[in-house]
Amino acid sequence: MTDRNSNRLIATPSGYAKDNLLYVQEIGTLTSRSPHISTRENIFSFLFMVVIKGSGTFSYKGKKILLHEGDCVFVNCHEPYAHESSAEDPWTLTWVHFYGTNMAAMYDYFNEIGGDFMFHPASITDLLNIFSSLYNVVDRKDALWETLSHKYLTDIVTFAYTNKGDQTGSYSINEKLKVIREYIADHCDEKLTLDMLSEHFFISKFYLVREYKRKYGVTIAGDINAFRISKSKSMLRFSSDSIENISLACGFKECGYFIKVFKMSEGMTPLAYRKKW
């Protein structure tokens, strides 16, 4: 007995479809009977996968996430990825590999509006109906099958656009922002950039900037400096370290910039603060 039971269709697009449409490369369903790791990379394809039932893990861009029933995955397969069913609760998946001349731009837009590679919509019923229709179209290959495939693939991408905010990874966006802010507080003495935070938490930097300011009323850069200043104030009061050493210990590369930021925040220099307190 094999460790998997799968039904899949592999399609070869026409030249017209390659030049003008989104087109299916492979579509199918899979039920795992035991853990099996599937690993791929450097494929000119995009994968949309839905967990129908069961659980497993998905690894992408250095992050491994546990998936459960109702979770969706949307990734660029040029990047390395891997997935594996759990042994205790083997999963059933449906998926489609697809491509198109404009797909890279469409995926970039998904990221720009805050899409995460894994999200959990409120319901997958409509999505599974789209997958079923797409599978049937590819299976029959009627005269307009490529045009209809484009339509259903567009529906799937649109579903990702409109449901990406229901749950971002294992967090809602507000929960994710809370985790990001806690991370900033814990690592404020390290080098922190918007690009690094965006990559680490798998969130568009444009979406992160907007939602962070909306939730906390301060920019990320401003919050990083605030956490650094708070740490420096504690060191100024309870240590005898030099201003320069405190500056470096709190994440400021240049002592002069530290003094400038501190004075803007507290209305006095670090040395004056130390003497006052």
Looking at residue 249, its pLDDT comes to: 96
* Claim to verify: residue 16 and residue 152 sit in the same structural domain: yes
User: Does the pLDDT of residue 170 top 70, yes or no?
Assistant: no
CATH at residue 53 = 2.60.120.280
Q: In terms of pTM, does the model score above 0.75?
A: no
- Residue carrying structure tokens 């795992």: 32
* Claim to verify: residue 154 and residue 227 sit in the same structural domain: no
CATH at residue 182 = 1.10.10.60
**C-alpha pair distances (Å), 47 with each of 24, 74, 137:** 10, 6, 18
Picking from 130, 163, 196, the residue at the C-terminal end of a domain is 163
Task: Give per-residue pLDDT as tens, 177-207.
Answer: 888 999 999 999 999 999 899 888 877 787 7
Angle at 98 between CA 95 and CA 100, to 5 degrees: 160
Q: How far apart are the first and last CA of the chain?
A: 74
* Claim to verify: residue 127 and residue 253 sit in the same structural domain: no
* Claim to verify: residue 236 and residue 134 sit in the same structural domain: no
Boundaries of domain holding 212: 172-277
* Claim to verify: residue 202 and residue 155 sit in the same structural domain: no
- Of 62-66, 97-101, 236-240, least confident by mean pLDDT is 62-66
- Number of DSSP helices (H) and strands (E) in the chain, helices first: 11, 10
- For the chain, state the CA radius of gyration: 24
Mean pLDDT to the nearest integer, 19-26? 98
Task: Give per-residue pLDDT as tens, 104-160.
Answer: 999 998 988 878 899 888 899 999 999 999 999 999 999 999 999 999 999 999 999
Task: Give per-residue pLDDT as tens, 225-267.
Answer: 999 999 999 999 999 999 999 999 999 999 999 999 999 999 9
Picking from 163, 195, 222, the residue at the C-terminal end of a domain is 163
**H/E element, 245:** helix 243-249
Looking at residue 46, its pLDDT comes to: 98
Task: Give per-residue pLDDT as tens, 212-222.
Answer: 998 899 999 99
Domain count, the chain: 2
Looking at residue 172, its pLDDT comes to: 63
183 residue type, one letter: Y
* Claim to verify: residue 154 and residue 195 sit in the same structural domain: no
Closest CA to 227 of 200, 265, 269: 265
* Claim to verify: residue 193 and residue 145 sit in the same structural domain: no
* Claim to verify: residue 48 and residue 141 sit in the same structural domain: yes
* Claim to verify: residue 17 and residue 151 sit in the same structural domain: yes
* Claim to verify: residue 218 and residue 152 sit in the same structural domain: no
Considering only the C-alpha atoms of the chain, give the largest distance between any 2 of them, rounded to a whole number of Å.
83
Picking from 163, 184, 207, the residue at the C-terminal end of a domain is 163
Q: How far apart are CA 253 and CA 88, in angstroms?
A: 50
